[in-house]
Amino acid sequence: MLTVEKAQDQHYVLVLWGPGAAWYPQLQRKKGVILSKAQISELAFPQKIALNAHSSLKSIFSSLPNIVYTGCAKCGLELEIDENRICKQCFSCLPFTVKKIYYRPALMTVVDGRHDVCIHVESKLIEKILLNISADCLNRAIVPSSEITYGMVVADLFHSLLAVSAEPCVLKIQSLFVSDENSYPLQQDFSLLDFYLDIVKQGADALL
């Protein structure tokens, strides 16, 4: 029985039996960081929400309430909401009871030439992609006298990021491969560590 590790320190058990048990010493675990220039084609969130080049600005804006969640401000755990719309407490972090709104993690699809690659993106990196606009601020006006909210800015950033005409971006990706003695991949995962993209900044400047 072999424990294999996925991205974000999740562990799973791979059971080897019969002749397969002889593979145990030969199994290879390769983990590294790479830089890749690619175009982002889709961001898929839970609840079957997919944002891509076909998504209108209006539909992206209307999806924002569903791609955020209320969580513990200390550990980020999503908090359940009871029938009275009151968030339950995070018992693991008591007596700490502060809550925070987070973006949900997403699965990012990028296109590099003829290849599509899916990359896991954590909540904090979704926020960084959106110029560090906190999910707590989406309903606030950017300035007191303005009718433009941060939610409108975020929707425009998503729209610019996923447009067909968007410039490719440089992604810093952590790769994890587990392969057998013949280098056949048994498991592969990609997680976003950082990104560098000027077009997102340009989209925000157009609104502001």
Which residues form the domain of 120?
28-67+105-207
Q: Specify whether 57 is located in the same domain as 149.
A: yes
Q: Own/partner pairs for 110-117, CB < 8 Å, 24+ apart?
A: 110/36, 110/38, 110/39, 110/40, 110/41, 110/171, 111/38, 111/39, 111/41, 112/36, 112/37, 112/38, 112/39, 116/41, 117/36, 117/38, 117/190
Average pLDDT over every residue of 50-70: 96
130 is a domain residue: yes
User: Which residue is it, tokens 């009151």?
Assistant: 86
Using the 3D structure, point to which of 78, 103, 128 is the last residue of a domain: 103
Q: What is the DSSP letter of 47?
A: T
pLDDT for 151 equals: 97
CA 112 to each of CA 17, 170, 171: distance values in angstroms, whole numbers, following the listed order: 38, 11, 11
1 is a domain residue: no
Domain count, the chain: 2
Our measurement of the distance from residue 61's CA atom to the centroid of its chain's CA atoms, rounded to an integer in Å, reads 18
Q: Specify whether 165 is located in the same domain as 136.
A: yes
Question: Per-residue pLDDT tens for 81-127?
Answer: 888 888 888 989 999 999 999 999 999 999 877 778 899 999 999 99
Question: Per-residue pLDDT tens for 129-170?
Answer: 999 999 999 999 999 888 999 999 999 999 999 998 888 888
Domain holding 166: CATH number?
2.40.50
Separation between Cα atoms, residue 19 and residue 87, nearest integer Å: 51
Do 35 and 171 contact (CB within 8 A), yes or no? yes
151 is a domain residue: yes
Q: What is the DSSP letter of 87?
A: B
pLDDT for 47 equals: 84
Q: Specify whether 85 is located in the same domain as 144.
A: no
202: pLDDT strictly greater than 80: no
pLDDT for 13 equals: 52
pLDDT for 35 equals: 82
Q: Specify whether 179 is located in the same domain as 78.
A: no
Q: What is the DSSP letter of 164?
A: T
pLDDT for 208 equals: 47
pTM of the model: 0.76
